[in-house]
Amino acid sequence: MINLSLKRVTSVWIIAILVVFVITAIFGITMRFNQGGDIELSPVTFFSLMTAHGVTMVGIWSVAGMMAVNYLMARYVKVSTAVNVFALVLTVIGLVMLWTSTFVGYFHAGWTFLYPLPFFVAWESWATPLFLYSIAIFGIGWTVWTVAMLMQIYKKYSLAQSFAWQHFKRGYLVETPPFILITTVSLIGILICLITAVILLVLLFAEYYSNGTFTNDALLIKNLTYFFGHTIINEALYLGVATLYELFPEVSGRPKFKTTWYVALAWNCTLVFVLTAFFHHLYMDFVQPVGLQLVGQFASYFASLPSAAVTVFSIVILVYKNPIKWSLTNTLFFIGVIGWIIGGFGAVIDATISNNFVLHNTLWVPAHFHTYNAMGNVLFSLAFFYWVANEFAGTKVVPRSEKLRIGLLLIGGFGFVLMFYIAGAYSIPRRYSVYPDELALGRNLASYGGWFATIYVIAILLFLGEIVNKCLKVFSPRSSAAA
């Protein structure tokens, strides 16, 4: 049941996420212009921006997916607004702490805060614990929220039904909607990586407060960091895919997607494989056994293939030679799938061990993850934001700037990631504040990338204005009266 309080908290989430996204995207653009030599930042400022940009982007697009599925879940099960508000408050507190640690305390160990970097204090001494506490605050809020959502799912569905196992047999009585299947798989994945983050933080705090009596194993911490970081960003994208399964047919005027045996199999496989794909981040760690490196490579193939193949197949079947009511919502979903596939393909290339020897720590890495985030996950969430804002406002008026927005988004977004791909193909390293003369190509591409990203942000601002305006309508007295 979607009530007014759920609409209001969803509105606050959407406005907060879009505003923080634009600010954080500007951090990224500033970094690209600095790499391009258009502006001059101190290395500390550059790496503080890089740290804030990375953690904030991972955070806001994870909660964007959670917020979207939380809203749509209310169609099937009862959801808790109180827990939703709790997560929102902790996310805001965590964000303030995070930005304080990076911009006031100058913590700049990167979003991966790879051990032992956080303990080699090159910033205010209080910034390290503040940064770690900010991650802990995010973790508490999101873990409680995830468990609360799973609790509601399991009040209605059995374990087997939540994973759609009955679809492997004939003559089942209860059908699991694809939205519930994908949401369950993704939320369990998110729960696992949030527990991993808890273990990671406990180990880091143990060392921080032990005065040298306890030290961590660098390889273990790296494994835990990427288990958490790699997995959460993938699961966040799958939450976006869950909203696509729920809304794409609906806004296109087509029948709802059905769960079939292959859809069930694909998403069950995804749960397993996405949890082991993170080993591909440790190819350069020679002490990691070769067996685990191979697990990383093959899990990367198998994690992306079933879910992407089934989703693309479902979308193509739905769109091909069928009358579709195209709107901004389903256009954004459609482009998002293209971005996801291109980014995923780039990821699989990099996850192949022989290629990783060439591409490791080059700009190919930000190329692929910016593609499936900025042109995949962000667009899935933006499609939801746009759809739900229209629901709140009760209007379906097609804006005059529809084509302009999509055009700017495509040119800006794909132009921006293309500069990363070209630079990666030429082995331009990532995480450089400025490029020396030997890497002058990286400088030029960074500058072009900055301009393309500016076009992308202009498109987002055009969306933001309309979406915020419509979201604010749920706070009007008329909405209260209608409720």
Partner 1 sequence: MSKSIFSKIICCCLILSVVQFAQAQKGKFDFSEEKNVYNQIADVPVLTKDGTQKLSVLYSRSPLIVALIFTRCTGICSPLLLNLSEQISHLHTDPKENFKVLVISFDPRDQFEDMARMAKQYARENDPNWIFAVTPQISELTSSLAFNPVWDEDRQQLDHEALLSGINTDGYVTKNLIGLRDQQAIYSLIKSINNEFILSYPLPGNNNFLSCFSYDPSTGKKSWSWGMFLLVLPAIIAAGIVTILVNQKKTLHHN
Is 353 or 455 the residue whose CB approaches partner 1 more closely? 353
Neighbours of 16 (CB within 10 A): 18
Whether the Cβ atoms of residue 353 and residue 293 lie closer than 8 Å to each other? yes
C-alpha dihedral over 285, 289, 292, 293, to 10 degrees?
A: 50
Half-sphere exposure of 426 (CA within 13 A, CB side): 14
Report residue 390 as tokens.
């229209």
Q: How far is the CB of 178 from partner 1 (least distance, A)?
A: 20
Separation CA 258–CA 271 (nearest Å): 19
Is 40 or 217 the residue whose CB approaches partner 1 more closely? 217
Report residue 253 as tokens.
């005027």
Whether the Cβ atoms of residue 95 and residue 59 lie closer than 8 Å to each other? yes
Separation CA 178–CA 244 (nearest Å): 10
Separation CA 373–CA 332 (nearest Å): 13
Is 79 or 310 the residue whose CB approaches partner 1 more closely? 79
Q: Tell me: cis bond preceding 116? Omega within 30 of 0 counts.
A: yes
- In DSSP terms, 362 is beta-bridged to 429
Q: How far is the CB of 220 from partner 1 (least distance, A)?
A: 4
Collapse the DSSP code of 171 into the 3-class scheme (helix H, G, I; strand E, B; otherwise coil) and give the result.
Answer: coil
Separation CA 156–CA 158 (nearest Å): 7
Is 3 or 210 the residue whose CB approaches partner 1 more closely? 210
Is 58 or 203 the residue whose CB approaches partner 1 more closely? 203
Residue 437: which of 37, 111, 75, 32 has the closest Cα?
37
| Residue 179, phi then psi, degrees to nearest 5 | -60, -45
Is 188 or 468 the residue whose CB approaches partner 1 more closely? 188
Q: How far is the CB of 54 from partner 1 (least distance, A)?
A: 22
Is 74 or 149 the residue whose CB approaches partner 1 more closely? 149
Is 26 or 147 the residue whose CB approaches partner 1 more closely? 147
Is 144 or 461 the residue whose CB approaches partner 1 more closely? 144
Q: How far is the CB of 308 from partner 1 (least distance, A)?
A: 23
Is 101 or 196 the residue whose CB approaches partner 1 more closely? 196
Q: How far is the CB of 82 from partner 1 (least distance, A)?
A: 18
- In DSSP terms, 429 is beta-bridged to 362
- Give the residues lining the site for partner 1 (CB under 8 A): 147, 150-151, 154-155, 158-159, 188, 191-193, 195-196, 199, 203, 210, 212-217, 219-220, 223-224, 227, 275, 286-289
Residue 225: which of 340, 116, 347 has the closest Cα?
116
Angle, CA 116 vertex, CA 112 and CA 122 arms, to 5°:
90
Q: How far is the CB of 223 from partner 1 (least distance, A)?
A: 6
Q: How far is the CB of 122 from partner 1 (least distance, A)?
A: 18
Q: Look-up: residue for tokens 């099937």? A: 76
Whether the Cβ atoms of residue 396 and residue 387 lie closer than 8 Å to each other? no
Q: Which amino acid is at 49?
A: L
Element (H, E) at 480: helix 477-482
Residues contacting residue 394 through CB under 8 Å, at least 6 positions apart = 473
Q: How far is the CB of 286 from partner 1 (least distance, A)?
A: 6
Q: How far is the CB of 146 from partner 1 (least distance, A)?
A: 9
Residues contacting residue 431 through CB under 8 Å, at least 6 positions apart = 50, 110, 361
Q: How far is the CB of 471 from partner 1 (least distance, A)?
A: 32
Is 227 or 333 the residue whose CB approaches partner 1 more closely? 227
Q: How far is the CB of 195 from partner 1 (least distance, A)?
A: 4
Q: Which amino acid is at 446?
A: A
Is 286 or 320 the residue whose CB approaches partner 1 more closely? 286
Q: How far is the CB of 217 from partner 1 (least distance, A)?
A: 4
